[in-house]
Amino acid sequence: MKRIGLLLFAVLFLISPCFAREGQDSGIRFSDLFGEVSVRPNAEDDDAYEFAELDMPLYVNDRIRTKEESGAILSMADMSTFVVKPESIVVLNTTSGKENKIELLAGNIWVNVKKMVSDGTMEVEMSQAVAGIKGTNITCSTRSGEDRIQVLRGHAEVLIKESKETVEVQEGEELIVKSGGKTEKVEIDVQNEQKKWEEQTSRMGELIQLNEIPEILKGILDAETSEFARINGAFGKLIALVSVDEAAAVEIKRDAERFVGVIMEDNLILSSIRKKVEVALQTPDITAADRVLLANHMKNIAAVMARQQGFQTEIAKILRYQFKLTAIIEDIVDPLATDGTLASAAQLVEDISGTIEQLRTELTQVTSEVDSVRAVLSSNANGQSQDWFKESISVCADALADLDALTQKVTDLLNENPTSLELQALLKSLSDQRNSIGVTIKSLTVVEVSSDVITEMSQLDDVLSDRMIALQNEIAFYQTITESDIRLNTAAMERRLVASAKIIDGYARVRRYYSNAQRLYNNTMRAAASSKYKTAEQEEVENTWQNISDRFQQLGSIANELQSNISDLESQLSTFLK
């Protein structure tokens, strides 16, 4: 019998499907899923598909399938992002590293390459073509033997499988590759094409919870600030040179293009977060504290977006800048040379344009953090913490010190080149910035609310709440003793008089605590009246006072009635005590 059981187990084991996914980790992960998305090893058949989960590892040669009204967002270790539309199939052919390849078997994908290691590659292979991309935002589609590659930002090199020909596709172009290697290139409206992907790309950041927002915003701002500083620093060094190697010029512009991709994708995340906060603000019966917190989130989101706008403006300058390339300059013949030898640009004329551009870059760096402060102020800084105002004043003070040093540099250079209109304009910009920052510092000055005041207001709120509940209970008990009860029962008269005494005492206590809270509130807000903005601490005191005031008003007509009849109650109590 035992042998039969073992044999049956072996047979069942052999005929049962066993598709445990395993292999080399691709380094790619799901960052969002919706609808029916499934994964299987590419070597297995469709019975091996299993439902995709956010935290599941994805292996090399995994096949990912999206059904109708379904989709996925894939994130790679190098920060590249793939958005997979419904009814698509992709295969992860290689690991996320120096050489990356994803195979698109069917459907549509949106690709944003934000960062890549030196000499790294990213390829999307389709039925007729292979799209090679670096720091580029493209879309790829394949269906019925026809591939389409659209470049929404940057450029792509497309290898035609049939002819082995390589076709360069620029921003705003679509390459159509048909069976047999036939190609057609058409112009596209980038904005319209991006809108077609809004439903999918808007899901970026959708899984972020409200309590995660401060950390996410800090992460985005820190990462973008660090990367911008790196690119801007490298750009500053290049423009200070008389001539630049072509490879260095190409690399800095490629880095700038990738950074545009970083900003674009981060902006999608910020937009998603903002929508979530806006929905939360419309929630019925939202507490005052939650409303303040959410409003603070909105201000911080606006500040980060404003900082992004500043980055984009400066990156646009880098992308437009025309470097003097070494190869070109070496080919210039010095007209002043009697022997007709080649001369460098430095021998022709002293060119200070690179130095001026570098000084402008330094000015941008000096004021970048101040611009972030100004962005918050312009979106209404009410509700920021006292520490934020202190830190912002410190940022502005540091900027003023840096502006002084930069002003000295410009002044010295202007003394050497007194006719330079660019230096004169830059000096005026520095002066304007100093005046503007001085005004900003003045507006950031707020009256500090001590933690003792906040604690005392909170304690008064708690005590007053307890006292009012007790008073309302005493009033309710008092009202249960009717006039007919008193006429029929002397004990009822005594109970009513005792209840009256408790009400008088309770009401006096409530009024006393209310008056203390009102006095503390008035003193605090009177001191802060001269400040342009309300700090989070001031708003907390204000909200606590509003709660206290609302609770006291809840007594309403009962409180007024008690006030008008308090003399009668005291008279009854005096008669009873005699």
Report the C-alpha gap between 394 and 244 in whole angstroms. 38
Q: Own/partner pairs for 74-78, CB < 8 Å, 24+ apart?
A: 74/28, 74/29, 74/30, 74/31, 75/28, 75/29, 75/30, 75/31, 76/27, 76/28, 76/100, 77/27, 77/28, 78/113, 78/114, 78/115, 78/116, 78/117, 78/120
- Lowest-pLDDT range of 139-153, 437-451, 498-512: 498-512
**Percent over 70 (pLDDT), the chain:** 83
**Confidence band for 50, pLDDT divided at 50, 70 and 90:** very high
pLDDT of 491 > 60? The answer is yes
DSSP state of 109: E
Q: CB-based burial of residue 231 (10 Å sphere; 0-12 exposed, 13-18 middle, 19+ buried)?
A: buried
pLDDT of res. 219: 87
Largest CA distance in the chain: 133
**Residue 17: partners with Cβ closer than 8 Å, 6 or more residues away:** 47, 48
Dig out the tokens for 174 from the structure. 């679509």
pLDDT of 381 > 80? The answer is no
Within 13 Å, how many C-alpha atoms sit on residue 479's CB side? 9
Average pLDDT of span 401-422:
90
pLDDT of 480 > 80? The answer is no
Q: Strands 81-84, 173-177: parallel, antiparallel or unpaired by DSSP? A: unpaired
Terminal CA-to-CA distance of the chain, rounded, Å? 101
Report the C-alpha gap between 545 and 263 in whole angstroms. 42
pLDDT of 310 > 70? The answer is yes
Q: Which of 384, 230, 377, 201 is nearest to 293 (CA)?
A: 384
Taking only the tens place, the pLDDT of each residue in 59-90 is 999 999 999 989 999 888 766 789 999 999 99
Q: Which of 468, 499, 467 is nearest to 482 (CA)?
A: 499
Dig out the tokens for 127 from the structure. 């039925």
pTM: 0.57
Dig out the tokens for 446 from the structure. 């707020």
Taking only the tens place, the pLDDT of each residue in 118-175 is 456 788 999 999 998 866 788 999 998 899 999 988 888 999 999 999 999 988 899 9
pLDDT of res. 5: 46
Helices 536-554 and 556-577 pack at an angle, to 10 degrees, of: 60
Report the C-alpha gap between 216 and 5 in whole angstroms. 57
Range of 31-35, 96-100, 183-187, 532-536 with top mean pLDDT: 183-187
Q: Strands 137-143, 121-125: parallel, antiparallel or unpaired by DSSP? A: unpaired
pLDDT of res. 267: 86
Average pLDDT of span 333-355:
49
- Lowest-pLDDT range of 227-231, 275-279, 561-565: 561-565
Q: Which one is predicted more confidently, 136 or 414? A: 414
Report the C-alpha gap between 192 and 204 in whole angstroms. 19
**Residue 523: partners with Cβ closer than 8 Å, 6 or more residues away:** none
Q: If DSSP codes are grouped into helix, strand and coil, which group holds residue 206?
A: coil
Q: What is the mean pLDDT of the chain?
A: 80
Helices (H) then strands (E): counts for the chain = 16, 16
Q: Which one is predicted more confidently, 554 or 143? A: 143
pLDDT of res. 7: 42
pLDDT of res. 165: 93
Which amino acid is located at 235 in the chain? Answer: F
Q: How many CB atoms lie under 10 A from the CB of residue 453?
A: 18
Average pLDDT of span 253-274:
85
Average pLDDT of span 53-63:
90
pLDDT of res. 559: 55
Q: Strands 129-133, 121-125: parallel, antiparallel or unpaired by DSSP? A: antiparallel
Report the C-alpha gap between 41 and 46 in whole angstroms. 9
**Confidence band for 333, pLDDT divided at 50, 70 and 90:** very low
pLDDT of 575 > 80? The answer is no
pLDDT of res. 348: 32
- Lowest-pLDDT range of 87-96, 261-270, 562-571: 562-571
pLDDT of res. 351: 62
pLDDT of 501 > 80? The answer is no
Chain centroid offset of residue 103 CA: 31
Q: Which one is predicted more confidently, 110 or 495? A: 110
147 within 8 A of 124, measured Cβ to Cβ? no
Category of 340 on φ-ψ map: left (φ > 0), alpha (ψ -120 to 50) or beta:
left
Within 13 Å, how many C-alpha atoms sit on residue 49's CB side? 13
Buried b (16+ CB within 10 A) or exposed e, 367-395: bbbbbbbbbbbebebbbbebebbeebbeb
Q: How many CB atoms lie under 10 A from the CB of residue 408?
A: 11
Q: Which one is predicted more confidently, 56 or 133? A: 56
**Confidence band for 327, pLDDT divided at 50, 70 and 90:** low
pLDDT of res. 342: 41
**Percent over 90 (pLDDT), the chain:** 20
Average pLDDT of span 448-473:
83
Average pLDDT of span 200-225:
85
